[in-house]
Amino acid sequence: MRIDDHWLVGARQVPSPNQDARPASEVSAVVLHSISLPPGVFGGDAIERLFTNRLDPAGHPFFAAIAGLRVSAHLLIRRDGECVQFVPFQARAWHAGRSRWRDGARQRRALNDFTVGIELEGDEVTPYRAAQYQALARTLRALMVAYPAITPSRITSHAHIAPLRKSDPGAAFDWAYLRRCLVKESWEN
């Protein structure tokens, strides 16, 4: 995989209106999330509808509570490994919310300003699929080439940056397996 003009080559593009210009900060970290809509249900177009402000509140009882949200991520990795990009990487997606992160010696807030948000279709208890880890590793490698400030130590989770309100991608996410996929990906490229 590679990035061309801030888009992941091969990803299906579904532009989201929920984005804006980044401030003058460099893209330097990645935040991993999980999402399923409705909760625990995989497949369908509800995630894409949420990120494009087209979620039907009458489509499911859960949707009524979230249909008015204005959120997005740069990328969604579906259960089969398909990548769907909503926001170009140089723009600010609205994924992190209230968050903070210790960046070296300083505490940083407003993580949307400098991070790439990647959603994995899943929940916090269902194991993620090998196709997702492989697509994620290829994507992370492409991001590290395109944005050299991103390194393996600058890949974090929503749980880590908002621990009192978020726990995704959850205990089902296998960080050790992701590291092995990243090593394999670096050897193959």
Grouping H, G, I as helix, E, B as strand and the rest as coil, residue 179 is: helix
> Which one, of 127, 137, 2, lies nearest residue 81 by Cα?
137
Separation of alpha carbons 92 and 83, rounded Å: 18
- The alpha carbon of 103 is separated from its chain's Cα centroid by a whole number of angstroms, namely 19
Residue 188 annotated among the catalytic residues of the structure: no
- Dihedral-angle region of residue 97 (phi above 0 means left; psi in -120 to 50 means alpha; beta otherwise): left
* Candidate list 119, 124, 185, 188, residue with the active-site label: 119
Q: Which amino acid is at 99?
A: S
Q: Do 90 and 3 meet the contact criterion of CB atoms below 8 Å apart? A: no
Contacts of 68 (CB under 8 A, 6+ apart): none
* Catalytic (active-site) positions: 119
